Chain A
């Protein structure tokens, strides 16, 4: 277990040689490293230089303790090696680094490559899961995959056709493959799993196809189902029992997952999980958010539509819900709340609080007490017209009535647009600076509700949308946010949405990429640009930082434009239709002039 959490003192030793892998006590080091008080520093000697899950640790900080690359020398960064994935859809995944091997998952058809870091990324083996071709027809927003997770000698990831696979990390042989969903119900799987206490946690995508959302735990050894928690329907399906103590009164009551919907609409109500999960080993709780309700047109589904657009705290052993908080009851704008949750211990009002920080779709950064689910603060980090604030007494947004979408009526200047102020692209947090580095967008939209017709396996959206840049005309931003002072330390703007993740290091360098193909390094304290490199295709991936077998610090990023924002290029869409790709094409009409598609891994280091 020790090795699986990336806390070994022998970073390059083979995982198999470590004794007592099934110890159930979780090492506290990861927790101390990352769930730390905000001015703590993490000495790089405590960092094993690996990257075993997309968020790097259970607290999801995406912070690397490596400090060879600094604000002083970052301008000397050079390309070390590269690797072509042979796939041209949007590359959103984070590479993994385990011992001296890098693992990359591609978009559909979801190849898994193992690259030898001791030999400049020479190909060790390729695993091809052959997902069903037809699954391409139920992927709402390009054919992406957000990465894999390493645990106990195996690589775990999801394939687009709603299967989870375990692959032997040494040999590339398939250990098990489990069907978790059904494409004929519109289900697909695009998220990176999280492995907690021997359980592989996966959820379904398909909020635009009328799926019934769930999170599932599979036994990491066998792939057998351990538990499944639905996000709509009766309490017994949602795994709501005696331990369930939500903070706000509107989240208490029996079978709210049924009564907050008209008729049987909960059966096709959405609320999947395709983003991020965090885990607090001390509280033994996992945290994650549920996706939007379906269809988008809210008039079709009167009621609070629980438990869509909500956050859950659950016991990973049996899935039991401990608290839930529905931050967007009766969601109006596809504020599809699957964003990352960063677990921190912060001094708030003079007290050290165990919190989760979440830059949300609706434009607010929520800070919640992660023990109780109470909202401690919610401050805007982008331009917002849909709400006038979050009522901290009730936890509900103060919605602006005029912005509510209606059937047959065009409502204009809905800000933020459906992808929110921030979509799936994950932030990073540095305990050295106390800042959260948030990659996000600046988009508004016009929307008209239409009639909904549910046909299983086809889209269930019932809205025409047309997006465009928000105030200022730029479509992307990187915001460095101080969650204690509750304000931005600095903000930079980008022409295109910043659809890549960020990573921050102990050298106080922040890395991210742009959709027109620049990989950039920023000074974590000032936001000033230190270095940039032009890669082959636009970047929508997650940068990672690792220590190579030669002891040097490396930064790796997948380029390959696509995703919802880049579908206009990856899918070859026609920009004359403003409603194409759920309206995102209208905001990205100039992207085909700025970049072409093509998946490629780039790895950088100092000379």
Chain B
């Protein structure tokens, strides 16, 4: 039975119980915020979050999302104090490295800098969960229904919202 379970789990995903060391963020290359680039165009290789394909990590991210009070501002993805996370608009970018930066270093219009509170491994789990809210992860990786009050569609049924790096609203409106 145990073997069977392990077998299924291994086919489905690679479980990384060790996690990446908390210091990993220090080695991250600079994250680009603008599509506009003077001179000849170059591409920087996108950085894949370590938990993008890892259901365990994403569900850990969901737990942390509530425990670190992310839900206090962004609620279950619809937003309130902070902007929505389940829609297509990404003020500071939708790529894993953008979201990592947002959580670790904060953003000027109210997003706190959690980098000294949450270790890098947990931030990457949060990144994966945040991306799942708008359907950016595989359906079989995204967490299922919540056990508590049903207040929004579950991640697997969230239609993929094509990310828009949205035009920055005036300072008074940004979060």
**Chain B, Cβ-Cβ closest to A448:** B149
A577 in contact with B81 (CB, 8 Å): no
Scan residues 441-470 of chain A and give those whose CB is less than 8 A from a CB of chain B: 446, 448, 450-451, 453, 455, 457-461, 464, 466
Chain B's closest residue to A108 (CB) is B172
How many Å lie between the Cα of A449 and that of B32 in the bound state? 40
For the complex, is B48 an interface residue (Cβ under 8 Å from A)? no
Minimum Cβ distance to chain B for residue A172 (Å): 20
Contact across chains for B84 and A582 when beta carbons are under 8 A apart: no
Contact flag A458-B172 (CB < 8 Å), given A578-B152, A580-B78: no
B82 at the A/B interface (Cβ < 8 Å)? yes
The interface residues of chain B, by DSSP majority, are classed as: loop
B83's partner among A108, A457, A572, A578 (CB-CB below 8 A) is A572
| A448-B148, A458-B72, A574-B87 given; A581·B80 CB < 8 A | yes
Which residues of A sit under 8 angstroms from B172, Cβ to Cβ? 87-89, 107-109, 143
**A408 part of interface (Cβ distance < 8 Å):** yes
A573 interface hit (Cβ, 8 Å): yes
* A606 interface hit (Cβ, 8 Å): no
B175/A137 in contact, CB under 8 A? yes
Contact B80 A580, beta carbon cutoff 8 Å: yes
Partner-contacting stretch, out of B33-41, B61-69, B96-104, B121-129: B61-69
Chain A proximity mask over B134-175: 1 for CB below 8 Å, otherwise 0: 000000000000001101110000000000000000111111
Q: How large is the interface on A (under 10, 10 to 19, 20 to 34, 35 or more residues)?
A: 35 or more
Distance of B97 from chain A, by nearest CB (Å): 22
- Binary interface profile of A, 569-607, with partner B (CB < 8 Å = 1, else 0)? 001111111111111011000000000000000000000
Q: Which of A87, A140, A408, A410 contacts B81 (CB 8 A)?
A: A140
Report the minimal beta-carbon distance from B117 to chain A, rounded to whole angstroms: 7
Q: Mask for B34-68, Cβ within 8 A of A = 1, else 0? A: 00000000000000000000000000000000111
Is A208's CB under 8 angstroms from B72's CB?
A: yes
Which segment, of A128-136, A190-198, A347-355, faces chain B? Answer: A128-136
Interface residues in B106-134 (C-beta closer than 8 Å to A): 106, 108-112, 117
- Using A89-B172, A460-B69 as known contacts, say yes or no to A139 and B81 having CB atoms under 8 A apart: yes
Residues of A within 8 Å of B171, CB to CB, are 109, 133
Q: Mark A88-118, 1 if CB is under 8 A from B, else 0.
A: 1100000000000000000111000000000
In the complex, the answer to whether B117 meets A572 with C-beta atoms within 8 Å is no
A368 within 8 A of B: no
With a cutoff of 8 Å between Cβ atoms, the chain A residues found around residue B84 in the complex are: 572-574, 577, 580
- Closest Cβ–Cβ distance, residue A128 to chain B (whole Å): 11
Q: Are B151 and A579 in contact (CB under 8 A)?
A: yes
Q: Enumerate A534-589 residues with CB–CB distance to B below 8 Å.
A: 567, 571-583, 585-586
| B94 CB-CB contact with A under 8 Å | no
- In Å, the complex CA distance between A451 and B69 comes to 10
For the complex, what is the distance from the CA of A141 to the CA of B174, rounded to whole Å?
A: 14
A138 within 8 Å of B by Cβ?
A: yes
Residues of chain B contacted by A109 (CB below 8 angstroms): 171-172
- B73 CB to closest chain A CB (Å) equals 6
Q: With A88-B170, A133-B110, A136-B110 given, is the CB distance from A581 to B82 under 8 Å?
A: no
Which 3 A/B pairs are nearest by Cβ-Cβ distance?
Answer: A577-B78, A459-B72, A137-B110
If A448-B149, A572-B173, A574-B77 are given as contacts, then 11 extra A-B residue pairs at C-beta distance below 8 Å, sorted by A number, are A137-B175, A450-B148, A451-B67, A453-B67, A460-B69, A567-B80, A574-B86, A577-B84, A579-B151, A581-B78, A583-B151
